[in-house]
Amino acid sequence: MKYAEDIIQKFTTQMYSLNEENEKPLKKALQGISLCNKTLSKLKRFVEEKDFETIPSEIYFFKSIKTVPMSYLIYFTELRTCELQKPKAGIQYQVNFLEKELKKINKFFYRNSDFVYYMELGHTYLDHQFFSRTDRPEFPVSPLADYYQFPEFSTSHDMLWSKVKAMNKLIHFIRQTLERLKPGKYKEWQSKQHEVLVWTAPKTALIELIYALYSVNSLNHGAADLRAITSSFEDFFNIKLNQIYKTYSEMKERRGSRTKFLDELSIHLKHKMDKEDH
């Protein structure tokens, strides 16, 4: 499984670099689709050659590993379609088109509300049916679309979970585009401006925290990528984080504990609780 995790780590680094480039959305989508397909092909070969020793490892792969590039593939595919179909002239025509796209996304979430609810609450009792090939449900499963379909490389719900994550990314892109077209009109969904807070611990500690949150899919139901999480923390704490991947690599090479800040947080929180109990 470490090989598959290394593939995803490399993919995440490449995706971060791609998102940092100031390319036009259509060009970025095409580059992203190519990268996603290459990564999925590597993961598919891994499954064909190694397969899985246990059901939990199979569930982990199809729930948390494959869905990373798969969600981006769906996102970039939908983004490409959106950009190609979007009116070329007339701001109001473009706004109307994008608002209709948001309505389509809302309908998708409504149709799959039970599954989204299950995932949002962090339930696992149906994971053996949703994310395992060896315990397939008896009901037929129809693919969402021909994004990337191979029977032995798919479960009943890994594609759906990938699309949920992709649609969250697409919502963010559409909102940003609408804001550029009509500045100020689409900021109502954003929360009120927060009080200025300054991060005063080492930057390495914040990067450690960011990676921890990213690793457990705790933001945007797992749809938030490292770039988005990092950018949000930079804005919130008024700090600039550079070379986060280099810092992460250095963290992995630490002697002793590789999660010093997280360990310290846990110790201090437990100490506070124990102290308050007495």
Q: Where are the domains of the chain?
A: 2-187, 191-278
Alpha carbon distance 225, 15 (integer Å): 9
* Residue 142: pLDDT over 60: no
Alpha carbon distance 204, 261 (integer Å): 9
Alpha carbon 247 to its chain centroid, in Å, reads 21
pLDDT digits (tens, 9 = 90+) for 217-271: 778 767 777 878 888 888 777 677 877 888 888 888 888 888 989 998 999 898 8
In sequence order, which residues have a C-beta less than 8 Å from that of residue 46 and are 6 or more positions away?
3, 4, 7
Q: Of 83, 81, 84, 70, nearest to 35 (Cα)?
A: 70
Alpha carbon distance 246, 251 (integer Å): 9
Give the per-residue pLDDT at 220: 73
Q: Which of 109-123, 183-197, 208-222, 263-277 is least confident?
A: 183-197
- Is the separation of the CB atoms in 69 and 22 below 8 Å? no
In sequence order, which residues have a C-beta less than 8 Å from that of residue 238 and are 6 or more positions away?
196, 197, 198, 199
pLDDT digits (tens, 9 = 90+) for 28-81: 999 999 999 999 999 999 988 888 888 999 999 999 899 999 999 999 999 999
Give the per-residue pLDDT at 151: 66
Q: CB-hemisphere CA count at 13 Å for 40?
A: 24
- Is the separation of the CB atoms in 152 and 47 below 8 Å? yes
Share above pLDDT 70 across residues of the chain, in percent, rounded to a whole number? 88
- Is the separation of the CB atoms in 58 and 52 below 8 Å? yes
- Is the separation of the CB atoms in 218 and 176 below 8 Å? no
* Residue 140: pLDDT over 50: no
The dihedral built from the CA positions of residue 90, 93, 98 and 101, taken in this order, carries a sign that is negative
Query: From residue 83, how far is each of 91, 203, 222, 236, 243 by CA, in Å?
Result: 14, 37, 25, 31, 31
Take residue 40 and report the two structure tokens written for it.
Answer: 């999925």
